[in-house]
Amino acid sequence: MAMYAKAAGQVEPTAAEMAELKAVEAATRSNLAICFVKLGDGPKALEQCGQVLAKDPAHGKALFTKGRALLLVKDLDGAKEALAAAAAVSPDDPAIKKELAQLPKLEAKARAKEKATWQKAMSKF
């Protein structure tokens, strides 16, 4: 057994094996981020997306999921940027188009909420 343990530490993976390991890690982290989005945990989803995007800034699935996670944490500008980057990578993806189409409505809602907050604050003077 010691002989196998020693050998396991001495064999370096080939370039093809490393590429496959990186692809599996990116897919796993992207899928985990999607799970966090579905659970409504934007910060954890963003953490996973960040790890994928640090190694592959053009990873379409991670960019899309990052955009959805940013919507969860109410960062509309960041979501718009991430979704636009995802659309640049995958211009024909209907899910990305759907999320981008919802942004103007969300932005209008956020502006209305901010306006109401300021009106309420200013009415006290």
Domain annotation covers residue 1: no
* Token output for 22: 């990186």
Domain annotation covers residue 70: yes
Q: What percentage of the chain carries pLDDT values higher than 90?
A: 66
Are 99 and 67 contacting, i.e. CB atoms less than 8 angstroms apart?
yes
Query: How far, in Å, CA of 64 to CA of 83, rounded?
Result: 6
pLDDT at 118: 84
Which of 44, 85, 118 is closest to 77 using CA atoms? Answer: 85
Domain annotation covers residue 83: yes
**CATH number, domain at 101?**
1.25.40.10
Q: How many domains does the chain have?
A: 1
Are 51 and 30 contacting, i.e. CB atoms less than 8 angstroms apart?
no
More confident residue, 13 or 37: 37
110: pLDDT confidence band, cut at 50, 70 and 90? confident
Domain annotation covers residue 25: yes
Instruction: For residue 52, give its domain range.
Output: 13-122
More confident residue, 104 or 50: 50
| Mean pLDDT rounded to a whole number for the chain | 89
Instruction: Please say if the pLDDT value at position 5 is more than 60.
Output: no
Domain annotation covers residue 45: yes
